[in-house]
Amino acid sequence: MTTVDTIWAAIAVGVLAYEVYIVSSPRLGATISDRVVGWLHTSTKTAKAAFAAAWFAGTLLLVFHILTG
């Protein structure tokens, strides 16, 4: 594993640990995606749908990039 791979793995583990902690805690609206929705003020159905589509596309792009190197 290269240094860059180690850095990305550390970031991914940190984000995953935070998300697992928040999802398992009783606090609502504290997940990463919930916070981004709040920061972007996506309160309409159209904005929520656009956010969800963009978030999903970004996730797919990131996973594809990681798996194909």
In tens, the pLDDT along 10-67 reads 999 998 888 888 777 777 667 777 777 777 777 788 888 888 898 899 899 988 888 8
Q: Give the pLDDT score at 20.
A: 83
pLDDT of residue 24: 79
Residue 67: per-residue pLDDT: 85
Q: What pLDDT shows up at residue 8?
A: 87
pLDDT at site 60: 92
Q: What is the 3-state secondary structure (H, E, C) of 9-67?
A: HHHHHHHHHHHHHHHHCCCCCCCHHHHHHHHHCCCCHHHHHHHHHHHHHHHHHHHHHHH
